[in-house]
Amino acid sequence: MSTEVAEAIEGTGRVNGPVLTIPDGLDLDELPAPSPPGGRDIDLLVVATKQRERGAGLLPRLERAGRRVQLLGDPVPRYELLAWMNRARVTLFLPRPTEGFYLPALEGMALGTVVVCPDCVGNRSFCLPGVNAMRPPYTDADLLDQVETALGLPADEAARLVAAASETAKEHDLGVERARFLEVLNDLPDLWDHASGSS
């Protein structure tokens, strides 16, 4: 769960105990090795499996002569999605307007594609604009603008974003998630005392 979801839960005023956040994790060992920049044969991948109509509407405005663009509008097995991302220089993700976390963007970071993922609430803690990703407002105009910016990045700037994104993915390794969960289990007696008002 993302910190944004935790904040929304706490904001209801109906919480009668501690709210603990354990960010979603990736099993990095399960992912293919990231392709080098020169080994990527797709300029732009559009992942629109949750926003098929929007993806189809944006596609004609993203296509250019000589630009290699691939649209994923239908759901595909995870291994296929990972393979497509690993071939793309830039990936535009189109999540639902509100997501609890949105793991595909983090997977894209681990695979070395430049991530363009609009603000969907649950990605705010790890999609950091200009640091490791592009996170435009969720409007067509902003999406198009940020995709063009990403595609036009000088090689050194793209490499900087990808390197920072890789570090972000490592911070979300499944081992980190497992360790945090074990910490919570170890703290259960204290958490229970706190929730019940014991001193």
* pLDDT for residue 1: 47
Q: What CATH number does the domain located at 33-170 have?
A: 3.40.50.2000
* pLDDT for residue 26: 84
Exposed e or buried b for every residue in 148-167, given b needs 16+ CB within 10 A? eebbebeeeebeebbebbbe
* pLDDT for residue 65: 92
The tens digit of pLDDT for each residue in 92-124 reads: 999 999 998 899 999 999 999 999 999 999 999
Q: If you write DSSP's letter for every residue of 105-116 in order, what string do you get?
A: HHHHHHHTPEEE
* pLDDT for residue 199: 46
Cα torsion angle, 34, 78, 88, 39, sign: positive
Burial of 173 (0-12, 13-18, 19+ CB in 10 A): middle
* pLDDT for residue 189: 64
Interatomic CA distance for residues 36 and 45, integer angstroms: 16
pLDDT band at residue 173 using 50, 70 and 90 as cut-offs: confident
The CB density around residue 47, as the number of other CB atoms within 10 Å, is 25
E strands within 94-155?
Answer: 114-116
Task: Enumerate residues 6+ apart whose C-beta is below 8 A from 55.
Answer: 46, 47, 48, 71, 72, 73, 94
pLDDT band at residue 190 using 50, 70 and 90 as cut-offs: low
What the block records as the tokens of 57 is 């509407």
